[in-house]
Amino acid sequence: MKLSYKQREILGVLSPGFGGTEIPQYIRGYLEQGLGGITLFGSNTPDLESTAALIAQIRAINPDCIISIDEESGDVTRLWAKSGSPFPSPYVLGRVSDATFTESVFQQLGANLAQLDIDLTFAPVLDLAISKDNPIVGVRSFGSNPELVSIEGAAAVRGLAKAGVSTAPKHFPGHGKTSADSHLDLPKIEASLQELMSEDLVPFFAAIKEGAPAIMMGHLLIPSVDSKPVSLSSVWINDILRNKLNFHGVVVTDALDMGALGGLENIHRSSIDAIRAGANLLCLSGIADQSKILTNILHLAESELTDEDLNKISRSKQMIRSLRRNPSAISYVEDLDTSRIAEGFEVIGNPRLESGSTAVLSLGAAPTIASGSISWGLEVSLTLRGHAITDFDTTKNQIVQFRDAWRDEKVLDRLLMLRTNHPDAIFVDFGWPTSVFTANNLIRTFGATRAHADAVAQFLLAN
């Protein structure tokens, strides 16, 4: 695989993904020629041992490659997709509203990443949870109040930094005012820069002051500011993020093959445009055939990159190296007290379990693209605490657990029927709350991780 100078240069600012736990031959060749980063996805991380082995393989070929991951604490997890994340969602942390606790959560998350030699996590999410029907933000956000999200987000940045892991708070300038999914379409926000500066941008400014080394740009259109999407806009990257907010770190794009920018067919064009707008590290997803995508990007780079573009890329490559994990940082912290998560629950009635077996019925909407398919629910947490799981209608302990029922009318209709037929059952609302539903005994958990399930089980069994 022989690349030209221009192609090797742009390779140094790309962070593609790939499928599986073995490095494909074409990725191996690009790593040998200076690939800037690798983004890990769920198929790369079926368990911690396989993940560590894969990272070691990458390091053996290219020690300077920046290895990144979407590990946000909460429902968006790559390392614990099969078992459920041991960390709570940002939204429930916002409800607990204890910055010291939040910092400890993210420090422990960072310690896990550091032990695997992961450099960068695309977190924390600083979007405001303003739009209640936003399928993407939800429990990934710390809340809707800019001051609260600022305090919690800064604590998350501190915690990860203590573990030596770099952060890329996202998705600048914030998806909070839209309900569109940028994986599919380009969300449009009708707000002035002044409005955004006083609300959505406040948490990002706090993260920058806290020392966040990178910021991830969102794929958003804000016509009052610029006619180009934020992630491809020099107005947003240079005039606002760098000059107004005084950010001097690495500007990272969200995945450039998302529908908001035209998808796979336009990714090579989006890559060049992002560089010219001032982005430093270009993320590509691990869903499609990255071999063809990278070939198209390199081909366009050869014909289009100017001397000015190459100067920008050279500076970006130097900046990207600063994201490498700090090996001297603390890589071990005490286990979390998951019972504290219950402080952020909303509880109606007096939901408690008697000793013996427990019947659990599960209902859920299809997963979003952001979180993908993850393990959720109470079965494991209850079993570990001595409760056998039985068929519904066979025991006094009846639990109906559901996730994101508000997104699926059929799930919601069945939920209403179960409430009528089993009025004394305990209903557990995992994920973003289905606010149109209530019951005699109800727990809203504001997340769907293993940590949430453990906290629910502890709460239900408390005397």
The pLDDT assigned to 287 comes to 64
Q: What is the mean pLDDT of residues 34-38?
A: 97
Q: pLDDT per residue over 341-386, tens digit each? A: 999 999 999 999 988 889 999 998 887 666 667 789 999 999 999 8
Q: What is the mean pLDDT of residues 144-163?
A: 97
Q: What is the Cα Rg of the chain in Å? A: 22
User: Cα dist. 66→120, 157, 298, 410 in Å?
Assistant: 7, 18, 20, 44
Do residues 343 and 288 both lie within one domain?
no
Q: Of 170, 275, 195, nearest to 232 (Cα)?
A: 275
Secondary structure, 3-state, the chain: CCCCHHHHHHHCCEECCCCCCCCCHHHHHHHHCCCCEEEECHHHCCCHHHHHHHHHHHHHHCCCCEEEECCCCCCCCCCCCCCCCCCCCHHHHHHHCCHHHHHHHHHHHHHHHHHCCCCEECCCECCCCCCCCCCCCHHHCCCCCHHHHHHHHHHHHHHHHHCCCEECCECECCCCCCCCCCCCCCCECCCCHHHHHHCCCHHHHHHHHHCCCEEEECCCECCCCCCCCHHHCHHHHHHHHHHHCCCCCEEEECCCCCHHHCHHHHHHHHHHHHHHHCCCEEECCCCCCHHHHHHHHHHHHHHHCCHHHHHHHHHHHHHHHHHCCCCCCCCCCCCCCHHHHHHHCEEECCCCCCCCCEEEEEEECCCCCCCCCCCCCCHHHHHCCCCCEECCCCCCCEEEEEECHHHCHHHHHHHHHHHHHCCCCEEEEECCCCCCCCCCCEEECCCCCHHHHHHHHHHHHCC
Do residues 47 and 99 both lie within one domain?
yes
Do residues 157 and 245 both lie within one domain?
yes
Catalytic one of 181, 254, 408, 454: 254
Catalytic one of 175, 183, 387, 422: 183
Q: Is residue 332 part of a domain?
A: no
The pLDDT assigned to 368 comes to 67
The pLDDT assigned to 181 comes to 60
The pLDDT assigned to 366 comes to 82
Q: Is residue 331 part of a domain?
A: no
Q: What is the mean pLDDT of the chain?
A: 91
Do residues 306 and 392 both lie within one domain?
no
Q: Is residue 404 part of a domain?
A: yes
Do residues 293 and 375 both lie within one domain?
no
Active site residue 219: no
Q: Is residue 330 part of a domain?
A: no
Active site residue 299: no
- CATH number assigned to the domain comprising residue 226: 3.20.20.300
- Boundary of a domain, candidates 323, 354, 380: 323
Q: What is the mean pLDDT of residues 153-167?
A: 97
User: Cα dist. 151→93, 216, 365 in Å?
Assistant: 11, 19, 32
Question: Where in the sequence is the domain holding 221, given as residue range(s)?
Answer: 5-323
Do residues 306 and 404 both lie within one domain?
no
Q: What is the mean pLDDT of residues 305-321?
A: 97
Q: Is residue 179 part of a domain?
A: yes
The pLDDT assigned to 255 comes to 84
The pLDDT assigned to 98 comes to 97
Do residues 445 and 307 both lie within one domain?
no
* Distance (Å, whole) CA 322 – CA 207: 17
pTM of the model: 0.94
The pLDDT assigned to 394 comes to 67
The pLDDT assigned to 175 comes to 84
Q: In this model, does residue 260 exceed pLDDT 60?
A: no
Picking from 50-64, 142-156, 389-403, which range would have the lowest pLDDT averaged per residue?
Answer: 389-403
Q: Is residue 333 part of a domain?
A: no
- Boundary of a domain, candidates 264, 288, 323: 323
Do residues 278 and 424 both lie within one domain?
no
The pLDDT assigned to 337 comes to 82
Q: pLDDT per residue over 66-110, tens digit each? A: 999 999 999 999 999 888 999 999 999 999 999 999 999 999 999
Which of 282 and 332 is assigned the larger pLDDT?
Answer: 282
Do residues 104 and 237 both lie within one domain?
yes
pLDDT-above-70 percentage for the chain: 94
* Distance (Å, whole) CA 297 – CA 97: 44
Binned at pLDDT 50, 70 and 90, residue 290 comes out as confident
Q: In this model, does residue 449 exceed pLDDT 70?
A: yes
Q: Is residue 292 part of a domain?
A: yes
Please, how many CA atoms are within 13 Å of residue 243, restricted to the half-sphere of its CB? Answer: 8
Binned at pLDDT 50, 70 and 90, residue 120 comes out as very high
Q: pLDDT per residue over 396-439, tens digit each? A: 789 999 999 998 999 999 999 999 999 999 999 999 999 999 99
Binned at pLDDT 50, 70 and 90, residue 179 comes out as low
Q: Domain count of the chain?
A: 2
The pLDDT assigned to 455 comes to 96
